[in-house]
Amino acid sequence: MSTWTRVLGIESSCDETAVAILACRGNEVRRVKDLVTSQVPIHQKYGGVVPEVAARSHVPETVSLLTQALGRRGLGSFDVIAVTQGPGLPIALRVGIEAARVLALLSGKPLIGVNHLEGHVASAWLDPANRRKFVFPLLALVVSGGHTELVIMKDFGDYRLIGETQDDAAGEAFDKTAKLMGLPYPGGPQIAKLALAGDPNAIPLPRPMLHDGTFNMSFSGLKTAVRLAWEAGQATGIKKEDVAASIQQAIVEVLVHKTIAAARHARVASVALVGGVSANTVLRETLGARLRDELPHVGYLPSDRKSITDNAAMIAAAGYWQYQNGTRHDWKKMEARPEWPLGVR
**Among 167, 199, 241, 253, which residue interacts with another protein (rule: CB under 8 A)?**
167
DSSP notation for 215-268? S-B--THHHHHHHHHHHHHHHHT--HHHHHHHHHHHHHHHHHHHHHHHHHHTT-
For position 168 contacting another protein by CB under 8 A, the verdict is: yes
Stretch that binds another protein, among 89-97, 135-143, 243-251, 253-261 (CB under 8 A): 89-97
Beta carbon nearer to another protein, 88 or 198: 88
For position 223 contacting another protein by CB under 8 A, the verdict is: yes
For position 210 contacting another protein by CB under 8 A, the verdict is: no
Residue 59's φ and ψ, nearest 5 degrees, are -65, -55
For position 179 contacting another protein by CB under 8 A, the verdict is: yes
Beta carbon nearer to another protein, 87 or 319: 87
Name the nearest CA neighbour of 262 among 345, 189, 160: 160
**Among 169, 247, 260, 314, which residue interacts with another protein (rule: CB under 8 A)?**
169
For position 214 contacting another protein by CB under 8 A, the verdict is: no
- The span from the CA of 39 to the CA of 139, in Å, is 32
Residues that bind another protein (rule: CB under 8 A) add up to a total of: 34
In 71-186, which residue ranges form alpha helices assigned H by DSSP? 90-107, 116-125, 128-132, 170-180
For position 171 contacting another protein by CB under 8 A, the verdict is: yes
Closest CB 114 distance from another protein, rounded Å: 17
Print burial letters for 166-198: b (CB count within 10 Å at least 16), e (below 16): eebbbbbbbbbbbbbbebeeebbebbbebbeeb
For position 220 contacting another protein by CB under 8 A, the verdict is: yes
Q: Tell me the angle at which helices 281-294 and 240-265 cross, rounded to the nearest 10 degrees.
A: 40
Q: Coil, strand, or helix at residue 43?
A: helix
For position 163 contacting another protein by CB under 8 A, the verdict is: no
Stretch that binds another protein, among 132-140, 168-176, 195-203, 294-302 (CB under 8 A): 168-176
Restricting to residues 131-160, name those near another protein by CB under 8 A.
144-147
State yes or no: cis peptide before 200, omega within 30 of 0. Answer: no
For position 228 contacting another protein by CB under 8 A, the verdict is: yes
Stretch that binds another protein, among 23-31, 35-43, 135-143, 161-169 (CB under 8 A): 161-169
Residues 322-341: x/- map of binding to another protein (CB under 8 A)? Answer: ----------------xx--
Q: Which residues contact 89 (CB under 8 A, 6 or more apart)?
A: 13, 14, 338
Restricting to residues 2-21, name those near another protein by CB under 8 A.
14
For position 56 contacting another protein by CB under 8 A, the verdict is: yes
**Among 91, 106, 197, 289, which residue interacts with another protein (rule: CB under 8 A)?**
91
Beta carbon nearer to another protein, 1 or 53: 53
Pairing of strands 5-11, 18-25: antiparallel
Tell me the HSE value of 93 on the side-chain side, using a 13 A CA sphere: 18
Integer angstrom CA distances of residue 10 from 73, 137, 146, 156, 258: 18, 28, 19, 20, 32
**Chain residues that interact with another protein, rule: CB under 8 A:** 14, 51-53, 56-57, 87-92, 144-147, 164-169, 171-172, 176, 179-180, 220, 223-224, 227-228, 338-339
